[in-house]
Amino acid sequence: MEKSLDFEFIHKNKCKRAVLLFHGMTGSPYEMKKMGKALFDADFDVFCYCLPGHGTSPINIKTVKWQDWYNDSVLHYKELTQKYDEVYLGGLCLGAVLAIAIAEEYRDVRGIVSLSTTLFLDGWTIPWYNFFMPIGVHTILRYYYSFPEREPYGLKNEVLRKKIAALQKRNTEALDNYPMSCIYELLKFSKLTRKNISKVTAPILLMHAKEDDLTSTKSAEFVYNNISSKIKNYIKLKNSYHLIVMDYERDYVFEKSIEFFNSLSDFAPEKTKQFSQQERAGV
């Protein structure tokens, strides 16, 4: 069951560039699939794997540590660097934090697309009793409590909301709750990532919804203001919530991601590359 949600989109002819995508906390590769297809159509080989504890029984997610997520992601990244000339990273939510954390340690990351980066849990759907969180996460209560997932499920698109709500009931593609123990691991991992953020030198494109329900734009702004990357772009989305790869502006997100990766690539189609270079130069 666990590996059935993974996907690998590989071209028949040998491709020299790959994108490794990471899904979000309590999500699965399912949420990254459309983005994966868009990148594949733009001549990238694309890989996305289920993070440890995800895509199986909801109990499994309570047993994982952030080190499991990080080590698993690094392993996939290293595998791809053996096979491809250029390896790019992309991630949503926790996946974005993973991509940034990898770039902190590995300077050969060619570029990062960081979507709805979750370094702080301060979105507008976080419950009023959030101020109890320090007591909850640092005591045994973290194994008792789960944030119940509720409307709007990270989506501004109401049609998609119903579909996602149905998927969450199955508790495989996405969970219908955020276990506090999982949040505890995310917060620990985010803290460490924030501490080392200045080590990131890889080019980065940040995209974050103004009305993100789980994490405010503070996270993306923190990354943008503190990384050492010379090439850094930040796009604020006006018509989406947290799941920007599925919401109203998903096509725009895909388009900008492809454009960004192409602008960094030595193997990009010439027209795209020229366009991107002109755009970067402000022409």
Partner 1 sequence: MMIEFLQTEKIMQALQHFSLILLIVSNFLLIIGFGVGKIVLHKSEDKIKFFARFTVMICILLITYFLSILLFTIGSIFSANAANSLIFPIFLFLPFVIGKFATYEKVHFYTNIQLVTLIISFIIALLIL
Residues that bind partner 1 (CB under 8 A): 58-59, 62-63, 129, 132, 135-136, 138-148, 176-177, 180-181
Please identify, using beta-carbon distances, which residue of 129 and 282 lies nearer to partner 1.
129
Nearest to 31 by CA among 40, 39, 21: 21
Residue owning tokens 């080392």: 196
Helix (H) or strand (E) holding 180: helix 180-195
Shortest Cβ distance from residue 193 to partner 1 (Å)?
Answer: 21
Q: What is the CA radius of gyration of the chain?
A: 18
Distance of closest approach, residue 20 Cβ to partner 1, in angstroms: 28
β strands within 42-199, DSSP E: 45-48, 86-92, 111-115, 146-148, 177-179
Which residue shows structure tokens 């795209």? 272
| Cα–Cα distance measured from residue 240 to residue 157, given in angstroms and rounded to the nearest whole number | 8
Least separation in angstroms between residue 168's CB and partner 1 is 11
CB of 176 to partner 1, least distance (A): 7
Residue whose CB is less far from partner 1, 43 or 176: 176
Pair type for strands 111-115 and 232-237:
unpaired
**145 vs 275 by CB, closer to partner 1:** 145
- C-beta of 1 vs 129, nearer to partner 1: 129
Q: State which residue, 63 or 278, has the beta carbon closest to partner 1.
A: 63
Shortest distance, CB of residue 134 to partner 1, whole angstroms?
10
> How far, in Å, CA of 180 to CA of 62, rounded?
8
CA distance 164 to 173: 9
Cα dist. 24→154, 201, 245, 281 in Å?
11, 23, 11, 33
Shortest distance (Å) from residue 171 CB to partner 1? 9
Beta carbon nearer to partner 1, 25 or 109: 25
Q: Rounded to whole angstroms, how far apart are CA atoms 162 and 164? A: 5
Using the minimum distance from each CB to partner 1, give the nearer residue, 75 or 135.
135
What is the C-alpha separation between 269 and 160, in angstroms, rounded?
Answer: 34
Q: Are 87 and 20 in contact (CB under 8 A)?
A: yes
- For partner 1, give the closer residue by CB, 192 or 235: 192
Task: Decide if 158 contacts 240 (C-beta within 8 A).
Answer: no
Output the smallest distance, CB 136 to partner 1, in A. Answer: 6
Distance of closest approach, residue 143 Cβ to partner 1, in angstroms = 5
